[in-house]
Amino acid sequence: MSRPRPDQLQPMARHLAYEIGMWRWSEELMPAVPTSARLNDNALIEVCLLHTGNLIDFFVQEPTTEDTILAPDYVSNWVERTAHDADIELLRGARTGLTELLSHLSTQRLERAKIDACQQVWVDALLALGRVWSRFLGALSPERRAWFTEELSRYPTPEPGSASMTPAHTPSPDSVVVTMDQSPDS
């Protein structure tokens, strides 16, 4: 299978920066404590889930199509660099759990223990994703890093690893519980 051409990587950096920017924006705005505006909370959680999933795929997925852009397209030794990386392994597992319990209708949502475990994975995945993004930026050549920093300057949110990416600023497990097992009217 052929991979994306080198001339496609710089223009695609804009799209990856969008994913990071939206992920950071939604993570920053997500309430640590649920608000009375549950539909707004749900919308932020869903935006964060969408972009978290896309970014996890970017960092851990094997190529499935010729046009899929992945981390190894930018950092040629990414797979070797991350072969035994605990954050990468956490993200691999998180993707499955988040998909099964949060991204589609499943009777597993009725099992409290599974929901509680998934919520902890959610918090851990947000933190791991920030660390993996930082390592990815550090592994880029200066030229390629500039592609991303230029695009990311359009998003007024803190860099991964800053105060917004600490446990105090990630969604609490309780905020996810409220949105998943109560109707908007309750």
For 141-175, write each residue's pLDDT tens digit: 999 999 988 888 887 654 444 434 333 334 433 44
pLDDT of residue 178: 28
Q: Is 161 left (phi over 0), alpha (psi -120 to 50) or beta?
A: left
Region 121-147: mean pLDDT is 92
Which carries the bigger pLDDT value, residue 178 or residue 151? 151
Amino acid at 77: N
pTM: 0.75
Residue 16 has pLDDT above 90, yes or no: yes
127 vs 113: CA distance, rounded Å: 22
118 vs 44: CA distance, rounded Å: 17
DSSP string, 56-113: HHHHHPPP-STT---HHHHSTTHHHHTTT-HHHHHHHHHHHHHHHHHSS--GGGG-HH
For 34-93, write each residue's pLDDT tens digit: 555 666 677 777 888 888 889 999 999 887 888 899 999 999 999 999 999 999 999 998
